């Protein structure tokens, strides 16, 4: 239930419109204006996701390729490419790993490497993650140095439907990376995806322990359902697929954002803890605003700002 409470905190915190006008991007180019909603003509990129409280994410580009994302507490995601395919992602900053609605005080760094099959589909992501905690201050310093206190290795394997070629599932295997000891996976998760047309209609993710590469009994299981899709264009269609998968896998709670995989936008989201004796969905709903080119400009309290290319 803590995870569902986390989603309530998210949506309660992004409930009203940020007032901004005549905004410029990092190059000084004009952005799509929220107040007169004139939209943009021609090619565009997603530049900012904002609320009345803060900027959730700011996307930076090199030409047409999205190469950097700035998020909470100056967290930075760097995206690297081989040709036009994402080959590597580096993250440095803070995440809400425990799902309590606040960024953890421990900082995190991870590197993800992306592997594709010969048809161009993303099939695996290998990750090395480090956790840093601030130690006690040594006078005259007022803050102690950040020290490494834990490392993990994780492998994500992606599968696709043989009939539709859509993402079918993701299996995660992970374990602690301790110097001087042989690595072994200690935990797993399995995600399955269901579609309505091209849109993700349901995601189920289960978690459990593993030993000797054998999956143990499921200890957590959640369902995320996306209902009442519109027919307009989601802002997230402008982001690379590999980055969107990386973002969803950055924390366990981020499965809630699986709507970013869809070309359209759902007006209702249902989150259910399937391990409860009587699973009862918690429902979140919204209406959307759009610009004249039918791109979404607001939904679930988030405003989407675009930049021209």
The predicted-structure confidence for 168-189, as pLDDT tens digits, reads as follows: 999 999 999 999 999 999 999 9
pLDDT value of residue 200: 98
DSSP one-letter code for 30: B
Structural element, H or E, at residue 158 = strand 146-160
Q: What is the reported pTM?
A: 0.89
- Here the contacts of 245-251 (C-beta below 8 Å, separation 24 or greater) are 245/122, 245/125, 245/156, 245/158, 245/170, 246/77, 246/86, 246/89, 246/112, 246/125, 249/125, 249/127, 249/156, 249/170, 249/172, 250/91, 250/95, 251/95, 251/96, 251/97, 251/99
Split at pLDDT 50, 70, 90, the class of 73 is confident
* CA–CA separation, 130 and 109 (whole Å): 5
What is the extent of the structural domain holding 267? 2-308
Confidence category of residue 79, pLDDT binned at 50, 70, 90: very high
Q: What is the pLDDT of residue 44?
A: 95
Model confidence at 38, pLDDT cuts 50, 70, 90, reads low
24-33's contacts with Cβ under 8 Å and 24+ in sequence apart are: 25/307, 26/60, 29/307, 29/308, 30/308, 31/305, 31/306, 31/307, 32/291, 32/297, 32/305, 32/306, 32/307
As a whole number, mean pLDDT of residues 197-222 equals 97
What is the Cα–Cα distance from 52 to 20, expressed in whole angstroms? 10
DSSP 94-105: ---TT-SSS--S
Q: Please report which helix (H) or strand (E) contains residue 246, including its range.
A: helix 241-248
Based on the structure, what is the number of domains in the chain?
Answer: 1
Percent of residues, the chain, with pLDDT higher than 70: 87
What value does the mean pLDDT take over residues 231-239? 97
Q: Which long-range contacts (CB under 8 A, 24 or more apart) does 134-140 make?
A: 134/105
Instruction: Choose among 216, 134, 122, 210: nearest CA to 166.
Output: 122
Read off the pLDDT of each residue in 290-299 and give the average, rounded to a whole number: 95
């Amino acid at each position: 239930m803590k995870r569902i409470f986390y989603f309530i905190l998210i949506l309660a915190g992004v409930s009203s419109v940020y007032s901004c006008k005549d905004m410029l991007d990092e190059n000084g180019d004009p952005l799509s204006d929220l107040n007169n909603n004139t939209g943009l003509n021609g090619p565009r990129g997603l530049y900012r996701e904002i609320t009345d409280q803060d900027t959730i994410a700011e996307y930076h580009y090199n030409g047409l390729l999205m190469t950097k994302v700035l998020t909470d507490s100056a967290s930075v995601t760097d995206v690297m490419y081989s040709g036009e395919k994402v080959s590597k992602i580096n993250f440095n900053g803070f995440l809400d790993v425990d799902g309590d609605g606040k960024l953890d005080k421990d900082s995190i760094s991870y590197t993800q490497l992306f592997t594709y099959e010969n048809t161009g589909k993303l099939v695996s992501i290998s990750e090395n993650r480090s956790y840093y905690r601030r130690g006690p201050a040594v006078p005259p310093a007022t803050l102690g140095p950040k020290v490494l206190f834990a490392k993990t290795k994780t492998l994500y394997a992606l599968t696709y439907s043989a009939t539709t070629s859509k993402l079918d599932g993701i299996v995660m295997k992970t374990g602690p990376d301790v110097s001087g000891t042989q690595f072994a996976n200690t935990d797993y998760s399995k995600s399955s995806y269901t579609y309505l047309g091209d849109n993700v209609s349901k995601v189920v993710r289960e978690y459990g322990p593993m030993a000797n590469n054998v999956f143990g009994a499921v200890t957590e299981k959640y369902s995320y359902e996306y209902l009442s899709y519109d027919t307009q264009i989601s802002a997230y269609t402008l982001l690379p697929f590999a980055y969107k998968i990386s973002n969803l896998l950055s924390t366990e709670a981020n499965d809630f954002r699986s709507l970013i995989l869809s070309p359209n936008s759902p007006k209702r989201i249902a989150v259910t803890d399937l391990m409860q004796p009587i699973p009862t969905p918690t429902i979140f709903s919204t209406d959307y605003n759009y610009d004249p080119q039918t791109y979404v400009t607001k939904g679930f309290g988030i405003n989407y700002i675009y930049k021209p290319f």
